[in-house]
């Protein structure tokens, strides 16, 4: 008997959620929330953003993003620089300490996943490699 696409979707969502939640446990700073780390990861990958750009990208309100930025700034993970064209605006940049935290957290997560994958058969790893491409396509559409 074949499994319905709806059932497969539910099982996939639950498996991805469990894996994501487990990976999020591997972090360098346990005091950071996932959304706070996400802001650092965005700045690390895409460079400076204004507060409104960050809020829009992370789909939160500007006041909520301001609280996140204030927290991360107090920790020394990012800084605000006045915009050269518009002094009323600030550009938010990741600091070296923030970039280090992102690198270390990513390395920790990759190490955990690598250790788990070492216990898989070559066939299972090949299946995951194919699934990775499919999941990436699903996420991009």
Say whether pLDDT at 141 is over 90: no
Which pLDDT band holds residue 1 (cuts at 50, 70, 90)? low
* Distance in angstroms (rounded) separating the CA atoms of residues 21 and 34: 10
Domain ranges in the chain? Answer: 30-140
Max Cα–Cα distance, the chain, nearest Å: 65
Query: For all residues of the chain together, what is the average pLDDT?
Result: 94
Say whether pLDDT at 2 is over 80: no
Q: Which CATH number fits domain 30-140: 1.10.10.10, 3.10.20.30, 3.40.50.720, 1.10.3720.10?
A: 1.10.10.10
Which residues lie closer than 8 Å to 19 by C-beta, 6 or more apart? Answer: none
Count of beta carbons in the 10 Å neighbourhood of residue 6 = 8
Nearest alpha carbon to residue 62 among 92, 101, 87: 92
pTM of the shown model: 0.85
């Amino acid at each position: 008997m074949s499994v319905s696409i709806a059932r497969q979707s539910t099982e996939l969502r639950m498996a991805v959620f469990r894996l994501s939640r487990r990976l999020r446990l591997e972090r360098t700073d346990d005091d950071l929330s996932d959304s706070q780390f996400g802001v650092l990861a965005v700045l690390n990958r895409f460079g400076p953003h204004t507060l409104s750009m960050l809020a829009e990208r992370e789909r939160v309100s500007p006041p909520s993003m301001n609280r996140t930025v204030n927290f991360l700034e107090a920790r020394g993970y990012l800084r605000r620089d006045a915009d050269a064209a518009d002094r009323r605006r600030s550009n938010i940049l990741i600091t070296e300490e923030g970039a280090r935290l992102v690198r270390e957290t990513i390395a920790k997560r990759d190490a955990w996943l690598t250790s788990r994958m070492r216990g898989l058969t070559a066939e299972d790893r090949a299946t995951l490699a194919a699934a990775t491409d499919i999941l990436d396509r699903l996420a991009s559409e």
